[in-house]
Amino acid sequence: MTSHQITFGRDYLFDLLSEHKLLIRQRKRKAITTDSRHWMRKYSNLIKEVDITRPEQVWVSDITYIRLPNQWGYLSLITDANSRKIMGYSFRQDLAAEGCINALKMALNNRLYKESIIHHSDRGSQYCSHNYVDLLLKNNIGISMTENGDPYENALAERVNG
């Protein structure tokens, strides 16, 4: 184009290509991290109306996926809703509940206060698994989950995880 003394910017070029349907959309493969269609017990949302005023009052949990060269990796995080401190984490190359359990064990070891606490997560099978729920109950932690798979009900964890 410069040989014809025609100049235009990148945005104009993309607009022009788009207008004539000459752009190809690159498909992004997304990893699936939540399977909430399972038979295990799902708990109600206990933090809807809670005013979070102190550290370790509410922990939020989520799994984020990380693209590796030939596969996905999964990072389980538990974040304190008040301080935004990551209390526990675990990285695995599968979505097994053990990743979430390891993150929960780390969070329990990092606990500073003994007041009651609520653990909030989505309804993924990892958080509903017997081993995960038993560990929460054994440590007297209230169990709270999103109600309709709405990510806004677990917004802090979704934001921390990206």
Dist. CA 87–CA 83, nearest whole Å: 10
For residue 111, give both structure tokens.
């606990």
Dist. CA 1–CA 123, nearest whole Å: 55
pLDDT band at 117 (very low <50, low <70, confident <90, very high): very high
Asked whether residue 150 is assigned to any structural domain, the reply reads yes
Helix axes 97-109, 130-138, angle to 10 degrees: 10
Dist. CA 113–CA 105, nearest whole Å: 15
State pLDDT tens for residues 12-32.
Answer: 877 888 888 877 776 655 555
Asked whether residue 92 is assigned to any structural domain, the reply reads yes
Asked whether residue 37 is assigned to any structural domain, the reply reads no
Asked whether residue 13 is assigned to any structural domain, the reply reads no
If we measure between CA atoms, which residue out of 148, 112, 154, 119 comes closest to residue 134? 119
Asked whether residue 4 is assigned to any structural domain, the reply reads no
Asked whether residue 80 is assigned to any structural domain, the reply reads yes
The predicted pLDDT at position 158 comes to 46
If we measure between CA atoms, which residue out of 108, 157, 111, 101 comes closest to residue 132? 101
Q: Please report the DSSP string for 51-109 in residue order.
A: ---STTSEEEEEEEEEE-SSSEEEEEEEEETTT--EEEEEEESS--HHHHHHHHHHHHH
Residue 79: give the domain boundaries. 58-161
The predicted pLDDT at position 19 comes to 86
Select the more confidently predicted residue: 31 or 10. Answer: 10
Asked whether residue 28 is assigned to any structural domain, the reply reads no
Percent with pLDDT over 70 in the chain: 78
Q: Which of 39-48, 113-122, 128-137, 150-159 has the lowest mean pLDDT?
A: 150-159
If we measure between CA atoms, which residue out of 82, 78, 80 comes closest to residue 51? 82
Tally of domains within the chain: 1
Is pTM beyond 0.75 here? no
The predicted pLDDT at position 7 comes to 75
The predicted pLDDT at position 58 comes to 96
State pLDDT tens for residues 149-161.
Answer: 555 545 554 444 4
The predicted pLDDT at position 40 comes to 67
What mean pLDDT, rounded, does the chain reach? 83
If we measure between CA atoms, which residue out of 82, 79, 105, 88 comes closest to residue 162? 79
Longest pairwise C-alpha distance within the chain: 75
Asked whether residue 16 is assigned to any structural domain, the reply reads no
CATH code for the domain in which residue 148 is found: 3.30.420.10
Tell me phi and psi for residue 55, to 5 degrees. Answer: -65, 150
Mean pLDDT of 40-69: 88
The predicted pLDDT at position 83 comes to 93
